[in-house]
């Protein structure tokens, strides 16, 4: 029930009770007053009648008394009866006095004969109705000689009292209605500010902190409205600060590299940032509120969380995830506590170590490969040098053969060191100078080099576009190195009579280059690793050809440094196709 309705209902009940009490009292008071006035009127009338009997002789003659009573009755209302001290009726205005019985037993007559005024309401046996009697003692020369009695119908008084009640009740009802109307207006006026406060509270509860009370005045309600406005302003400021802090926290959490999981005391997920979802392979929907074990299928992590909750201490550990991908994760766990120190849950920080461990393995492999690649030629040179020192130099044929081998191993060592230096420069991300150059001219230079040195291998074909190509925007020496490395590999692994083809065309605003051969090809299982450093499909054959195992890695670095991508397609014993793109000059 609404406040205004309750207030008005209480007001109606209050007005109703007051009206009933006031009406009861006022009707009772007025009825008594009217009854007293009625009897007083009868008493005065009786006294006036008694004043007509001053002559003792007149009073001794019943006919004269009856005549006097009849005369007075014409101008007076009510029944007039005159009785002597013996109770005998001497005159009556309504009945034949000679036929009336003795009235000495009437209570009002007896009272008057004793010198009192007799007043009573009773049933009249003569008239067969209730009457109101007033009896007044008739005195002559100080002696009671009879009684004058006035009687009026009680129904007349009842009719008068009924009309009085109707008038009083009607007046009170009208007054009550007017009071209710006036009270309703006053209550509406008084309740409007309270209802405004209610509306303000509801709007604030729904998050509308711009709501304000528009009631002004100098009473308590106005002060309450001002207090509400101040509260709303402070809440708005507080919520604004909270929202700003929340946005900052969300931005920090969403951009953290580390994954953050917040777990409550029931082992349900409260929060998981984007990094945690990526690391654990979770979907952003339906995460919050779900049990950890239902979302993260890893019992090791679950055991760590339970251990933190039981001990209340922070932990650090590493674990392996096998779904959806194999990952190695570093985990930091710490308890979350309320202000009173009660354990509220735990926070889990996830650091994906997979790439770091891969890089460590690559570094270890790289160091091992470099050591091996350096040790092999050095060992060969040292062995041949010791052999020559021990006297083999005297054999001219052996001396020539060993010196030639030492020269080859020195070239191989030099090439390896140069490739390592090139990779170091590329890894440092130091951007080489770029300039536009004629790519067709560069191809011509490279073609002349390989035609002269590989004429016995087979045909070297060029596929060039009919129209002129735009200039390439890159470092000319590095692009030349890419072409040389790819063509060198193609000629090395293509048997005599085979074909090496260099194709160039314009595609999607970039120059696309393809180096293809019909040589020995690359096994399918090795295609994903041929761009790794020191990776060789056939290690013995590669060393025999003088390769360092770094050429394709250098090619990949150079192409990707210019926003390009290198791809390879190959089938065993059918040849290979290396394709890459280059940026064009936009001038």
List, in sequence order, the alpha helices (H) in 102-219: 107-113, 154-205
Residue finishing a domain among 160, 183, 199: 160
Residue 527 maps to which CATH number? 3.30.565.10
Closest CA to 413 of 384, 453, 370, 383: 370
Whether residue 136 is found in the same domain as residue 241: no
Residue 408 lies in a domain: yes
Do 497 and 522 share a structural domain?
Answer: yes
Residue 176 domain flag: no
User: Would you say residue 45 has pLDDT above 70?
Assistant: yes
| pLDDT for the residue 76 | 72
Considering the domain architecture, whether residues 380 and 506 belong to the same structural domain is answered as no
Residues 361 and 473 in one domain: no
The answer as to whether 323 is a domain residue is yes
pLDDT at 1: 61
Together in a domain, 245 and 107: no
pLDDT tens, residue by residue, 88-132: 888 888 788 888 888 888 888 888 888 888 888 888 777 777 888
Average pLDDT of 352-375?
75
What is the domain range of residue 412? 357-425
| Range picked from 61-75, 198-212, 368-382, 560-574 for highest mean pLDDT | 560-574
Kindly report, residue by residue over 391-407, the tens digit of the pLDDT: 878 888 888 888 888 88
462 and 363 share one domain = no
Please, are residues 271 and 349 in contact by the beta-carbon 8 Å criterion?
A: no
- Tell me, yes or no, whether 57 lies in a domain: yes
Whether residue 420 is found in the same domain as residue 545 = no
The sheet with strand 315-321 has its strands ordered as: 269-272, 259-264, 343-352, 327-337, 315-321
CA–CA distance, 278 with 214 (Å, rounded to integer): 52
Average pLDDT, the chain: 81
455-493 per-position pLDDT tens digit: 555 578 888 887 888 999 998 888 988 998 899 888 888
Last residue of a domain, one of 319, 352, 385: 352
What DSSP designation does 87 have?
S
Same domain for 363 and 325: no
Shared domain for 469 and 578, answered yes or no, is yes
Q: Is residue 301 assigned to a domain?
A: yes
Does some domain include residue 182?
no
Structural tokens at position 224: 């309450």
Q: Is residue 168 part of a domain?
A: no
pTM score: 0.45
Spatial distance between the Cα atoms of 548 and 369, rounded to a whole number of angstroms: 10
Strands (E), 209-307: 259-264, 269-272
CATH of the domain at 263: 3.30.450.20
* Domain shared by 389 and 462, yes or no: no
Do 406 and 439 belong to one domain? Answer: no
Q: Considering 160, 177, 192, which residue would you say is the last residue of a domain?
A: 160
How many structural domains are present in the chain?
5
Q: Supply the pLDDT for residue 73.
A: 77
Answer yes or no: do 262 and 143 share one domain.
no
Alpha-carbon distance of 402 to 398, in angstroms, equals: 6
Q: Is residue 174, in this structure, part of any structural domain at all? A: no
Q: Give the torsion sign (CA, 170, 174, 176, 177).
A: positive
């Amino acid at each position: 029930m609404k406040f205004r309705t309750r207030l008005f209902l209480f007001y109606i009940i209050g007005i109703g009770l007051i009206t009933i009490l006031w009406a009861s009292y006022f009707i009772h008071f007025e009825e008594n007053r009217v009854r007293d006035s009625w009897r007083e009127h009868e008493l005065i009338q009786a006294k006036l009648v008694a004043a007509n009997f001053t002559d003792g002789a007149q009073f001794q003659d019943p006919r004269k008394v009856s005549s006097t009573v009849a005369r007075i009755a014409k101008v007076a209302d009510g029944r007039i009866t005159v009785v002597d001290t013996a109770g005998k009726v001497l005159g009556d205005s309504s009945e034949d006095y000679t036929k009336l019985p003795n009235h000495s037993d009437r209570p009002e007559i007896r009272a008057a004969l004793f010198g009192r005024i007799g007043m009573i309401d009773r049933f009249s046996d003569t008239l067969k109705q209730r009457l109101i009697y007033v009896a007044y003692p008739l005195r002559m020369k100080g002696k009671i000689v009879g009684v004058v009695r006035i009687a009026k119908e009680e129904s007349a008084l009842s009719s008068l009292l009924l009309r009085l009640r109707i008038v009083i009740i009607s007046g009170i009802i009208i007054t009550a209605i007017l009071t209710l109307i006036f009270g309703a207006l006053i209550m509406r006026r008084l309740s409007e500010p309270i209802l405004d406060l209610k509306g303000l509270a509801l709007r604030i509860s729904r998050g509308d902190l711009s709501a304000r009370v528009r009631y002004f005045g100098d009473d308590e309600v106005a002060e309450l409205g001002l207090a509400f406005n101040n509260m709303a302003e402070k809440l708005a400021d507080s919520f604004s600060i909270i929202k700003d802090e929340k946005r900052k926290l969300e931005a920090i959490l969403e951009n953290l590299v580390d994954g953050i999981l917040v777990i409550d005391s029931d082992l349900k997920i409260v929060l998981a940032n984007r990094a945690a979802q990526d690391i654990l392979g979770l979907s952003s929907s339906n995460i919050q509120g779900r049990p950890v074990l239902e979302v993260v299928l890893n019992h090791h992590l679950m055991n760590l969380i339970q251990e933190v909750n039981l001990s209340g201490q922070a932990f650090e550990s590493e674990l392996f995830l096998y779904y959806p991908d194999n990952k190695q994760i570093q985990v930091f766990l710490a308890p979350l506590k309320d202000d009173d120190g009660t354990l509220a849950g735990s926070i889990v920080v996830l650091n994906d170590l997979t790439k770091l461990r891969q890089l460590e393995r690559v570094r270890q492999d790289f160091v091992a490969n470099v050591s091996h690649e350096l040790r092999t030629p050095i060992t060969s040179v040292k062995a041949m040098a010791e052999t020559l020192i021990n006297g083999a130099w005297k054999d001219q044929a052996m001396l020539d053969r060993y010196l030639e081998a030492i020269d080859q191993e020195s070239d191989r060592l030099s090439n390896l060191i140069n490739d390592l230096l090139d990779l170091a420069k590329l890894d440092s991300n130091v951007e080489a100078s770029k300039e536009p150059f004629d790519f067709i001219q560069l191809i011509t230079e490279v073609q002349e080099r390989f035609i002269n040195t590989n004429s016995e291998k087979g045909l070297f074909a060029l596929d060039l576009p009919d129209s002129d190509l735009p200039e390439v925007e890159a470092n000319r020496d590095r692009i030349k190195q890419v072409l040389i490395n790819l063509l060198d590999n193609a000629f090395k692994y293509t048997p005599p009579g085979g074909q090496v083809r260099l194709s160039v065309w314009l595609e999607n605003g970039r120059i696309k280059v393809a180096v293809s051969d019909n040589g020995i090809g690359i096994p399918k299982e090795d295609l994903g690793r041929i761009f790794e450093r020191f990776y060789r499909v056939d290690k013995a054959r590669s060393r025999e050809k003088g390769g360092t195992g770094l050429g394709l890695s250098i090619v990949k670095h150079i192409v990707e440094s210019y926003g390009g991508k290198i791809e390879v397609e190959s089938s065993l014993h059918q040849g290979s196709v290396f394709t890459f793109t280059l940026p064009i000059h936009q001038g």
